[in-house]
Amino acid sequence: MTVLVAAVIVHDTATDRVVLLQRGEHAKFGRGLWDLPVGKSEPGEPITATAVRELHEETGLTVRPEDLHVAHIVHGAWGVEAPNGYVTVVFSARTWTGEPENREPGKHAQVRWTDVNALPDAFVPTTSNALRHYLAGRRPGVSLRGWRHA
């Protein structure tokens, strides 16, 4: 079964910052790497609800489903928790409430605003690509990862 995942780019356009989290030492993958707030969909859950829930669980930020816009899609042939593949829908949000905080310290080392001109190099490749695609002002696209004939 393909795992459905949502990620959210929270973009403060006034200060040109985005919310990033750093995966902690106990993360299932990407230990120490930076990432977007991201998580798996629950059975029967719409992908926008997944995005809203995961963003809030990880960072304390609240967005409304209607304020999410598709920024990119990543289709991976396999993943650490998705041996049969995954699809990540990466949303952008420019409206939110709250201030970012690390609400899952067992999974993440830190959560913070990051200037878009100072993105960390040690970044999960799939979400880094999606974020850079979005920041370049490109229309939503699709990235393929791990496919033999992509």
Each residue of 21-79: pLDDT tens digit? Answer: 999 998 878 889 999 999 999 999 999 999 999 999 999 999 999 999 999 999 988 77
pLDDT in tens, 12-28: 999 999 999 999 998 87
Q: Which CATH code, of 3.40.50.800, 3.90.79.10, 3.10.450.40, 3.20.10.10, is assigned to 3-145?
A: 3.90.79.10
**What is the structure's pLDDT at 150?**
52
**What is the structure's pLDDT at 80?**
73
pTM for this prediction:
0.94
pLDDT in tens, 110-149: 999 999 999 999 999 999 999 999 999 999 999 998 887 6
- Domain spans in the chain, listed from the N-terminal domain onward: 3-145
Strand spans (E) along the chain: 3-12, 17-23, 34-35, 38-40, 68-76, 86-93, 108-115, 141-145
Could you say which DSSP state residue 48 is in?
H
Q: Which of 36, 43, 42, 107 is nearest to 68 (CA)?
A: 36
